[in-house]
Amino acid sequence: MTDISRILVVGSGAMGSQIGMVCALSGYRVRVQDISAESLDRAQSQLRSRIDRNVEKGRLTAEERDAAFDRIGFTTDLAAAAGDADFVIEAAVEKLEVKRELFARLDDLCPPHAILTSNSSSFVPSRIADATGRPDRVCNMHFFNPALVMKCVEVVRGEHTSDETVSATVELTRSLGKEPVLLEKEINGFVANRILTEIRREAMFLVDGGYASVEAVDTACKSALGHPMGPFELQDLTGLDIGYYAAMGRFEDSGDPADKPAASLARHVTAGHLGRKAGRGWYVYDEDGNRLGVNES
C-alpha cells in the first residue's frame, strides 16, 4: 500500500465519519468532506466522545488517539480535499443521482491514479462507474455499522473494474484491520445485506400480519437464533431510511414488487421516524439513545 497514503471520505454521517477515523487510526492521512459544516462539527464531536471512551476503557492509548486526530481533517471544500487523494470512499446519501453527480466531480478533481469507491450496498459499481472517465478504477467498498467495530468490508467489482483496483482495495481493507469479502460479480445488496433482507422481510411480514409484535420478533431472533440484535433493533441502529433506500434500489433493479419496502417501513420513513438518530423508529428513544418502548404511531 505504499502508493496509497491520502484517503478522502465523502460524507460525514455515522458511516463516513467512522470510516475516516478507522483510516486515521491505521496510519493514513484522511480528509472527511461534507457540504454541511454543521454535520462536520457533529461528526468531530461524536468521534471525540467515542474515541475518548476507548481510551478510558484501555482499548486505545492517549498517544494513539492524539496521533489519529492529527492525521484526520474535516472540510466542506471538495476540490481541496480531492486534489491529492490517492483513494476515495464515498459515503453520501443513498440516492443514485447524487452519487453519479459526485463521482463525476471526483473524476475531475482527483489525480488520475486515484481509486474511487462507494460505501453503498444499494447501488452496484456499474450504476456509478460510467459517470467517470476511469471506470477501471471504480468499485464498491462497503463497511458495516458501526464501522469502528465491525470487521467485515465487502469489496465488489464490476465488469469494468481492473484487477489492480480490486487488489489495492482488498489490500487496503486488510491494512485497516478489516476482513475483506470479495464479490467477483456485482449483485444488488451484495452478500450480508441480501441475507439480512430476507430476515427483515419475514420480520415485517410477521408484524404487519399481526402474528407477533416488534418486541416478540426481536426477542425470538436473539434468544432462539443467537443474533446480537433483533431485526427491528438493528434497523433503528443503522437508520430506517438506509433500509428504505436500499429496498427501493433493489426494486428499481429488479422491477419485482416483492422487493419494494414494506408498507410499515415506508410509513415510518415518511413520518421521519428514522431510528435512534431521530429518537423514534420501530422503538422510541430518549436523548441519550436509551430505548423507552415500542413506537405505536
Q: Give the catalytic positions in this structure.
A: 121, 142, 154, 193
CA-wise closest residue to 244 among 215, 280, 275, 219:
275
- Across the chain, how many H-helices and E-strands are there? 12, 10
What the block records as the C-alpha cell of 238 is 443503522
Rg (CA), the chain: 19
The grid coordinates of residue 46 equal: 461524536
Which set of grid coordinates corresponds to residue 165?
Answer: 483496483
Cα separation, 223 vs 21, in Å, equals 33
User: Hey, how many other C-beta atoms are within 10 angstroms of the C-beta on 10?
Assistant: 28
49 Cβ partners below 8 Å, 6+ apart? none
- Residue for grid cell 422503538: 283
Helix (H, G, I), strand (E, B) or coil at 157: coil
Rounded CA separation 74/83 (Å): 15
DSSP letter, residue 275: B
Q: Alpha helices, DSSP H only, in the chain? A: 14-25, 37-56, 62-71, 78-82, 96-109, 126-129, 163-175, 192-208, 214-223, 231-238, 240-254, 263-270
CB 106 within 8 A of CB 91: no
Beta bridge partners of 119: none
Residue 4: DSSP 8-state: -
- Residue 65: helix, strand or coil by DSSP? helix
